[in-house]
Amino acid sequence: MADQQESIHFVTGRLAESAVREIVSQLSHKHRFAYSIDVLPITVAALMTPKWLMRHIDVPGNTTRVVLPGYLAPHLDELRPQFSCRVDCGPKDVRDLPTVFGSKRHRSEDYGQYKIEIIAEINYAPRLLRRTLVAEAQRLIEHGANRIDLGCEPGMRWSDVADSVGPIGQFEQSQRGFKLGS
């Protein structure tokens, strides 16, 4: 029986279904176990009660372990006698499911692939005195802006835009990662 592959039955609600499927698929390849997923007719698994769970769960006969939603952990002693295999509770957050298997928290394939810039706009920039405009741009940069958009007035030409952008550009060079947009 030691050679038999573990067959784990995961229980979840509809809201977490896709995340559970993705994470469990990856875990099963890494840790070499068979699995089944029981998506019960409830949106949020955290709202399951032990009594409700037992009315809806359908554990396949070859199951060697059941992993219930983490919010059922306080009821685990009450639930275990009702199963013929090992029963555990997973974490409350499905992204932590890999930690049950000794792995790191789950991050989707595209995690970290997005670069976010903070864009600050100075409206009606042509109306401001140059020193006021430069001071406002500096303040925004110091407070985290990565890009400053100088808002102009529709239908109006801003003839001294270069004179205003120059001092901001000089300040920009002293600030890492800042870009001036107009």
SS3 assignment, position 145: coil
pLDDT of residue 13: 95
Q: What is the pLDDT of residues 139-174, one digit of tens each?
A: 998 888 888 888 888 888 888 888 877 777 666 666
CB contact at 8 A, 178 and 145: yes
As a whole number of angstroms, the distance between CA 174 and CA 134 comes to 14
Name the nearest CA neighbour of 119 among 143, 140, 145.
145
CB contact at 8 A, 13 and 39: yes
Quick one: pLDDT band at residue 9, thresholds 50, 70, 90? very high
Domain ranges of the chain: 7-100, 119-181
Q: What is the pLDDT of residues 94-112, one digit of tens each?
A: 889 999 888 777 665 665 5
- Distance from chain centroid for Cα 156: 44
Q: What is the pLDDT of residues 13-67, one digit of tens each?
A: 999 999 999 999 999 999 999 999 999 999 999 899 999 999 999 999 999 999 9
SS3 assignment, position 98: helix
As a whole number of angstroms, the distance between CA 170 and CA 153 comes to 24
